[in-house]
Amino acid sequence: MSRRKLSRRQFVAATALSSAALITAPYVRGAYAAGSVSIGFWDHWVPGANKASTDLVNEWAEKEKVEVKIDYITSNGRKNEITIAAEAQAKSGHDILAMPTWWPHAQTELLEPMNDVMTALIAQNGAVNDTVKYLGQLDGKWHAVPFCIGSQIKGPCTRIDLMKKFANIDVQEMYPAGSEPKADNWTMDTFLKAAEACHKGGVPFGIGLGETSDSVDTAGAIFQSFGAQLVDAKGNLTVKTDEVRQALEYYKKLIAFLPPDAGAWDDASNNRWLVSGKGALIMNPPSAWAVAKRDAPQVAEQCWTHGFPKGPKGRFAPHLPYFLAVWKFSKNREAAKSLITHLSQSKSIEKLVAASGGYDLPAYEKLTTLKTWAEEGPPKGTLYHYPNPYNHQILSIAASPAPPKVAQQIYVQATLTKMCLRYGQGEKMESTLAWAEGECEGFMRS
């Protein structure tokens, strides 16, 4: 038995080689060399829209050698919100999670800061609107990245023919496809007169007064157009002000021209109202129009999505952005950020917007004139003004500018629509205001 002796030089050489191999091993890019990322996207209601996001994620995964797992989580029954709350409690779950409106603020302590991602994206795609900043930032720092899937503006979707016939308003002339709006006369007063005319004509405006988001969003925009806030940006109670009183008076007049059952409406009721041909106007993203295209093409051909009427304090439109957020407890935060950056490139956004038929809205100012909105129809150009291409209206969310954690309570408790309904049903103004003030006091608990 011969035993080979290891020389000192051989030992040093072998050690150096093995150390080099061990150190460089992670950088050798095999399949899934960079680990894995799990994503929880909002489950899109537009057929085929999920495929577009899957393709974009896979494209990135292949390039970056990362294993990806996507879950599409429905918002039916608030399943997406329950998932966010559950993952926050468990401190475990998806690396990236799509969060609607208020949720990044609600979970801000658990979210990875996104300043680095947002600085680059804003430089590339242009600035974002104030509502996106209000919902996505805390003390000037981004904790989530605005994402186009699910983001929407809930402006008027009007029946061209009925509005012309009963209110003598040509919405196509007011909001022409391909050019700037000529809507100086489209004010809250004109809106009220049109509501009355259409009500008399048997096709009332389909605006809900329920507790779900569509009803709350419309009330929010109308309140803001009167300058009415329940709680101001500093967290002071501002319920008992002239602006709030004016907004309530306006709503009381409007309620008289709305369907009598509007107090029981949910987010599907206004869609059905438009698709069934019963109403001349609803406040909605183009989902109702898209359903009409499939189920009632004669209605869809007459729909035009456009801007909100202007009030004494400006023209406000309800805007509900979605965000992509990365948990601090995510195991692959850098890869997650890289994927979010990929999904927020203008080319990716263009694909996503096209796949959603124009429903999804990017947050960035350079991306509001994509060809999808110009080309979608019938009628052609019906969505041209949907993304607010001329910054003609201020995009806002109900209950803002209250501190977001207070505003979220005002929003989910539908305090605004409840105030309108109470006052509209005959409660005294001061009782309604006192009730709302009591509610808001409760929402301020920390």
Partner 1 sequence: MVDVAFQRTAPAKATSARTSLHRALKRKSTMAFFLTLPLILLVAGLVIYPAFYAIHLATLNKAMTKFVGLGNFEFLFKRDTFWLVVKQSCIFAITAVIFKALIGFIVAHFVHNVPANKQRRWRGMLLVPWVIPPAMSTLAWLWLFDPSYSAFNYTLSFFGIGPIPWTGDAAWARFSVILVNVWYGAPFFMIMYLAALKSVPEQLYEAAAIDGANWWQRIWYVTLPMMRNIIAITTLFSLIVTFANFDIVRILTAGGPLDRTHIFATWAFRVGIEGSDIPLGASVSLFMAPILAIAAIFILRDISKRGNEA
Positions that interact with partner 1 (CB under 8 A): 78, 81-82, 85, 89, 102-103, 106-107, 109, 210-212, 259-266, 269, 272-273, 276, 278, 405, 408-409, 412-414, 418, 421-422, 435, 438-439, 442, 445-446
Q: How far is the CB of 20 from partner 1 (least distance, A)?
A: 47
- Nearer to partner 1 (CB atom), residue 155 or residue 404: 404
382: left (phi over 0), alpha (psi -120 to 50) or beta: alpha
- Nearer to partner 1 (CB atom), residue 60 or residue 273: 273
Among 78, 92, 80, which Cα is nearest to 40's?
80
Q: How far is the CB of 184 from partner 1 (least distance, A)?
A: 34
- Nearer to partner 1 (CB atom), residue 348 or residue 409: 409
Q: How far is the CB of 261 from partner 1 (least distance, A)?
A: 4
Q: How far is the CB of 202 from partner 1 (least distance, A)?
A: 14
Q: How far is the CB of 135 from partner 1 (least distance, A)?
A: 13
Q: How far is the CB of 181 from partner 1 (least distance, A)?
A: 31
Strands 36-42 and 96-100: parallel
Q: How far is the CB of 86 from partner 1 (least distance, A)?
A: 9
- Residue 395 phi, psi dihedral angles, 5° rounding: -80, 130
Number of other CB atoms surrounding residue 236 within 10 Å: 10
Distance, CA of 149 to CA of 158 (rounded, Å) = 24
- Cis before residue 285, ω within 30 degrees of 0? no
Element (H, E) at 315: none
- Nearer to partner 1 (CB atom), residue 117 or residue 258: 258
- Nearer to partner 1 (CB atom), residue 59 or residue 261: 261
CB–CB of 68/59 below 8 Å? Answer: no
- Nearer to partner 1 (CB atom), residue 45 or residue 435: 435
Tokens found for residue 55: 């393709």
- Nearer to partner 1 (CB atom), residue 321 or residue 381: 321
- Nearer to partner 1 (CB atom), residue 85 or residue 296: 85
Q: How far is the CB of 396 from partner 1 (least distance, A)?
A: 20
Distance, CA of 239 to CA of 253 (rounded, Å) = 20
- Nearer to partner 1 (CB atom), residue 159 or residue 392: 159
Tokens found for residue 438: 């009591």
- CB under 8 Å to 249, separation ≥6 — which residues? none
Q: Which residue has the tokens 């124009």?
A: 358
- Residue 158 phi, psi dihedral angles, 5° rounding: -110, 145
DSSP 136-201: HEETTEESSEEEEEEEEE--EEEEHHHHHHHH---HHHHS-TTS----TT-BHHHHHHHHHHHHHT
Q: How far is the CB of 262 from partner 1 (least distance, A)?
A: 8
Tokens found for residue 86: 């559950």
- Nearer to partner 1 (CB atom), residue 347 or residue 445: 445
Q: How far is the CB of 408 from partner 1 (least distance, A)?
A: 6
- CB under 8 Å to 228, separation ≥6 — which residues? 241, 243, 244, 246, 247
CB–CB of 101/397 below 8 Å? Answer: yes
